[in-house]
Structure 1
Amino acid sequence: MSARLPVRPAAPIADGMKLHRRRLRLGGRNHTVITLRPGTDARFSTNYFHDTWHVLSDWRGARLLGRLLWGLAFQRVPGTLVVIDLPFVDPNPFDASPGDPIVLIPSRLTPWSAAAARDLRRRLPLHGPGDGTVRWHTHGLDRLVAAGHKWQRLPTREWMDRVHGMVTFAAADALLRAHAYGVFTLGVGARHGMDYTDLAWQDGEVQVFSDYRARVSAARAARAQVLGGRALTPEAERLLWERGTAIRTAMARSHGAPVRA
Structure 2
Amino acid sequence: MAGRTGAAQRPGNARRADDGMKLHRRAVRLDGRTCTVIGLRPGTAVRFGTNRFHGTWHVLSDRHGARVLGRMLWGLSYQARPGTVLVVDRPFLVPTPFDADPPDPVVLVPGWCTPFGRRAARDLARRLPLRAAPDGTVRWRTHGLDAALREEPDWERDSWRWAESGRVERTHGLIVLAPATPREARLWGLGAARLDPSGRFGMDYTFLGEWDHSVPGEIQVFRDFHRDVGRARRARAEILARPDAPSDAADLRPLIWRRHGAIGRGRSRLVRNCRPLGRRDAEALEAAGVPTLDSLAAHGPVEAYLLLRGRAARRVDEDLLWTLEAAVTGAAPRDVAPARRAELLSELATRTKRPPRAPGR
TM-score when normalising by structure 1: 0.91
**1:144-180 CA distances to partner (integer Å, 9 max, x unpaired)?**
1112252434612211110100111111211111111
Alignment of 1:122-161 (within 5 A): 122-150=126-154, 151-152=157-158, 153=161, 155-161=163-169
Matched, 1:168 2:172: no
Matched, 1:252 2:281: no
Instruction: Measure the CA separation in 2 of the matches of 1:237 and 1:49.
Output: 13
Match of 1:235, SS state, is helix
What is residue 43 of structure 1 aligned with on the other side? Answer: 47
- Structure 1 counterpart of 2:194, one-letter code: T
Alignment counterpart, residue 116 of structure 2, candidates 112, 115, 125: 112
Instruction: Measure the CA separation in 1 of the matches of 2:10 and 2:260.
Output: 31
What is residue 213 of structure 1 aligned with on the other side? Answer: 226
Distance change (3 Å), C-alpha of 1:7 and 1:145 = closer
**Contact 1:94 1:215 (8 Å CA) reproduced:** yes
Instruction: Measure the CA separation in 2 of the matches of 1:147 and 1:160.
Output: 27
Supply the RMSD in Å over aligned alpha carbons.
Answer: 2.0
Alignment counterpart, residue 83 of structure 1, candidates 78, 83, 87: 87
Match of 1:106, SS state, is coil
> What's the CA shift for 1:238?
1.4
**1:100-151 CA distances to partner (integer Å, 9 max, x unpaired)?**
0000100112111111100000000011441100000111101111122524
**1:48-86 CA distances to partner (integer Å, 9 max, x unpaired)?**
110110000010001000000000000233101110012
Distance change (3 Å), C-alpha of 1:7 and 1:124 = closer
- Structure 1 counterpart of 2:196, one-letter code: G
Structure 1: runs of 5+ lacking an equivalent: 1-5
Report the count of equivalent residues.
255
> Which deviates more from structure 2 when the two are superposed, residues 250-259 or residues 9-18?
250-259
- Structure 2 counterpart of 1:168, one-letter code: V
- Structure 1 counterpart of 2:262, one-letter code: A
Q: Whose radius of gyration is greater, 1 or 2?
A: 2
Match of 1:37, SS state, is coil
Structure with the larger strand share:
1
What is residue 336 of structure 2 aligned with on the other side? Answer: none
Name the structure, 1 or 2, with higher relative contact order (CA <8 Å, separation 6+).
Answer: 1
- Structure 1 counterpart of 2:293, one-letter code: A
Instruction: Measure the CA separation in 1 of the matches of 2:76 and 2:148.
Output: 17
> What's the CA shift for 1:252?
2.0
Matched, 1:231 2:247: yes
**Contact 1:214 1:248 (8 Å CA) reproduced:** no
**Contact 2:51 2:103 (8 Å CA) reproduced:** yes
